[in-house]
Amino acid sequence: MRALATSTLVLALLGCGKSDPPASRAAETGSGSARPAPAVEPPAASPPAADDWTARELVPTEAILDGVAFTIGIPEGLPAQEVGVWADARVGDDLTFQVFTTVVEGRLVTSLDKAKYHSTAHVAETKFLRAEARDDGYAITGVPADDVVEAATFTKAGDGWLKCKATRAGGGRREEARALVEGICDSVLLK
């Protein structure tokens, strides 16, 4: 019995040789024709390198935060971390790319200067590239550090504001990064 099991194992290993073309294996088995290889699904798309999110299409994504329903354009494939937060999961302590949405009390953002103040944690160091008052709120873009671009919008939502903040750090290509983060936050639409 042991000899039979060993022979079967040896034959099975010989039959799995990758150097044999399919036709010769079919002749050995007596089936008369080669069987097609089983379909192999391609591996799932991996997230792009940190600087490749700019190449992805923005996909309208629905969310509800504190009773405020909205859609936002999120780069295709960017994973949600929690409700209202999307991020490149490979970021560590050195932030690469994140999108945050939150509802802010109306009394906190009463002017363009207040919107600028609430758009970044580093107001004094930020070089503001865009600061606009809009019919429905404010749009801010700034560079708080050499290789960081942040965009924020505040969209009037009832008594408060729906705040979108998209941050891109690293990877250079500041103009592409700016277009990406502004495009994301400018895409916010209340439902």
Average pLDDT over residues 40-49: 47
Burial class (CB in 10 A: 0-12, 13-18, 19+), 95: middle
Average pLDDT over residues 93-107: 85
Domain range annotation of the chain:
1-40, 50-190
pLDDT at 72 over 90: yes
Residue 81's H or E segment, with its range, is: strand 80-82
In contact, 93 and 158? CB cutoff 8 Å: no
Backbone angles phi and psi of 175, in degrees to 5 = -65, -40
Using CA atoms, how far apart are residues 107 and 186, in angstroms rounded to an integer? 22
pLDDT at 49 (0 to 100): 53
Average pLDDT over residues 29-40: 42
Using CA atoms, how far apart are residues 56 and 54, in angstroms rounded to an integer? 6
Class of domain 50-190: alpha beta
Using CA atoms, how far apart are residues 68 and 73, in angstroms rounded to an integer? 16
Using CA atoms, how far apart are residues 121 and 45, in angstroms rounded to an integer? 34
Average pLDDT over residues 87-103: 76
Share of the chain above pLDDT 70, in %: 69
Per-residue pLDDT tens digits for 133-183? 999 999 999 998 888 899 999 999 999 999 999 998 876 678 888 999 999
Using CA atoms, how far apart are residues 85 and 12, in angstroms rounded to an integer? 51
